[in-house]
């Protein structure tokens, strides 16, 4: 038997519905923030990632899926989304669009050859958003606020933003020199990879997975001590905008991010979920003002964020967040003979086009088996088509919960179902507040909740 590849997953059933729901929330949120969807190829020229992400990053040196096609072109399965977006921005001359800045988001599969573990796969799905063409600290704060709001809309309660800055090129270079000077006497006490990183990119040492608990790393110089006045002022502006937006954050000088293209603002977002483990980061990002120029485009300030969908799903499951996932159907049509089957085909088509979730029998089950299938599908209503009723232009509709049955004229069936479904089966999540999240208890993002009667109230009723 051929099996799926290590580090890849088949997603189906209820889990697939959760993934689709997250996609829908992402699309709705991005619409509110006025970001446009962008789709880039799954594979790109290998050079794009080597130049864009940096030759010293683990993703490039150890984890990228590199191959040659039949034309002997060197290609790589994309390990992250930002480099491809920047390539598209340059190639399609988006910098010439009068509507600036360019705000885009993506949601697709990435590939990294790393040891599979809980929440980390070789094929992963990643959502990300980018603002290209703005150096305003407000755009940094907007990216962070959108990420935080996404997690809260999905129902995660304890979200923590860890914030830092690498400063401009001058500040980063000064910090780089300080790190080299600090690490040189201790370099033999670090892993082989860190020894190689010392001269190439010492900031990568701070992001090392092997030595992350090493006291040498914990006592290393902090970025904030090497900021020039301009970088310090800019970082204070970002904090000011976050406070205006009521986004809680903590300054964490140890955040440096693992990719070479970051400067100024960098951040990680944690979900404090029991059972999530020590690595509870579910999203991260920062500013990368030099990447567009580095990939042969014009000087363009940019800021972005990315989050693994698999990590979000895991956090939701561990926190037992109740999602409004549709796990029932409106009507199951049953029949016995061929003429009734033909009418089931016709009627299911009409009802589906009218907006109802309808299913029918496809495997030749007897009527008793069809009733069991209706129960398995959580059908709200069932309808046994029979020739006598159809000759009278009627059908028998049964409420599968109360078992009450009514004879309905086919002429009013659509209106009947529309009214009955809304009254007999009211939605569990009836109303959505302005934060975009359905609530059954008070949530931090908006302070609103469900009083228990099925409606949401701003004041006592």
- CA dist., res. 376 & res. 378, Å (int): 5
Structure tokens at 245: 């937006």
- CA dist., res. 68 & res. 46, Å (int): 10
* Strands of the sheet with 74-77, listed across from one edge: 43-45, 74-77, 65-68
Residue 430 has pLDDT above 50, yes or no: no
- CA dist., res. 135 & res. 155, Å (int): 32
* DSSP H or E run through 291: helix 291-294
- CA dist., res. 144 & res. 235, Å (int): 14
Instruction: Taking residues 41-45, report their average pLDDT.
Output: 96
Question: How much is the mean pLDDT over the chain?
Answer: 87
**What per-residue confidence (pLDDT) applies to 194?**
76
Instruction: Taking residues 412-421, report their average pLDDT.
Output: 93
The CATH topology of domain 329-424 is: Rossmann fold (3.40.50)
Residue 191 has pLDDT above 90, yes or no: no
Q: Give residue limits of the domains in the chain.
A: 13-168+228-318, 329-424
The CATH topology of domain 13-168+228-318 is: BirA Bifunctional Protein; domain 2 (3.30.930)
What does pTM read for this prediction?
0.84
Under a CB-based contact definition with an 8 Å cutoff, are residues 81 and 285 in contact?
Answer: no
CA distances from 135 to 92, 292, 398 (A): 21, 13, 62
Under a CB-based contact definition with an 8 Å cutoff, are residues 63 and 120 in contact?
Answer: no
Residue 455 has pLDDT above 60, yes or no: no
Structure tokens at 417: 């179902």
Q: What's the CA angle centered on 92, arms 90 and 96, to 5 degrees? A: 80
- CA dist., res. 46 & res. 57, Å (int): 14
């Amino acid at each position: 038997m051929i099996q799926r590849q290590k580090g890849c997953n088949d997603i189906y059933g209820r889990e697939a519905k959760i993934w689709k729901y997250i996609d829908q929330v992402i699309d709705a949120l991005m619409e509110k923030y006025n970001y446009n969807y962008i789709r880039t190829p799954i594979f790109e020229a290998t050079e794009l990632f080597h130049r864009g992400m940096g030759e010293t990053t683990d993703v490039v040196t150890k984890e990228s899926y590199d191959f040659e096609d039949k034309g002997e072109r060197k290609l790589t399965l994309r390990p992250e989304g930002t480099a491809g977006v920047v390539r598209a921005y340059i190639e399609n001359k988006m910098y010439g669009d009068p509507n600036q800045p360019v705000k885009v988001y993506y949601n697709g599969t990435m590939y990294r050859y790393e040891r599979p573990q809980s929440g980390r796969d070789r094929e992963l799905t990643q959502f990300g958003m980018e603002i290209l063409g703005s150096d305003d600290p407000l755009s940094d704060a907007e990216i962070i606020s959108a990420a935080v709001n996404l997690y809260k809309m999905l129902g995660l309660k304890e979200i923590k933003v860890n914030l830092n800055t690498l400063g401009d090129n001058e500040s980063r270079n000064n910090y780089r020199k300080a790190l080299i000077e600090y690490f040189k006497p201790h370099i033999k006490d670090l892993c082989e990879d860190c020894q190689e990183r010392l001269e190439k990119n010492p900031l990568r040492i701070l992001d090392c997975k092997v030595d992350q608990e090493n006291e040498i790393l914990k006592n290393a110089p902090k970025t904030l001590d090497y900021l020039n006045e301009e970088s310090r002022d800019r970082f204070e502006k970002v904090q000011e905008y976050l406070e205006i937006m009521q986004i809680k954050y903590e300054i964490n000088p140890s955040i440096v991010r693992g990719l070479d293209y970051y400067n100024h603002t960098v951040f990680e977002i944690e979900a404090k979920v029991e059972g999530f483990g020590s690595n509870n980061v579910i999203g991260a990002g920062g500013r990368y003002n030099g990447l567009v120029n580095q990939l042969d485009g014009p000087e363009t300030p940019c800021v972005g964020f990315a989050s693994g969908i698999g990590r979000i799903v895991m956090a939701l499951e561990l926190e037992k967040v109740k999602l409004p996932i549709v796990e029932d159907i409106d009507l199951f049509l049953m029949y016995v003979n061929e003429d009734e089957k033909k009418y089931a085909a016709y009627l299911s088509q009409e009802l589906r086009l009218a907006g109802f979730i309808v299913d029918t029998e496809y495997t030749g089950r007897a009527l008793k088996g069809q009733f069991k299938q209706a129960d398995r599908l959580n059908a709200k209503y069932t309808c046994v088509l029979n020739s006598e009723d159809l000759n009278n232009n009627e059908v028998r509709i049964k409420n599968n919960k109360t078992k009450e049955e009514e004879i309905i004229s086919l002429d009013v069936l659509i209106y009947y179902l529309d009214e009955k479904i809304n009254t007999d089966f009211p939605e569990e999540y009836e109303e959505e507040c302005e934060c975009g999240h359905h609530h059954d208890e008070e949530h931090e993002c908006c302070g609103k909740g469900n009083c228990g009667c099925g409606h949401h109230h701003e004041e006592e009723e």
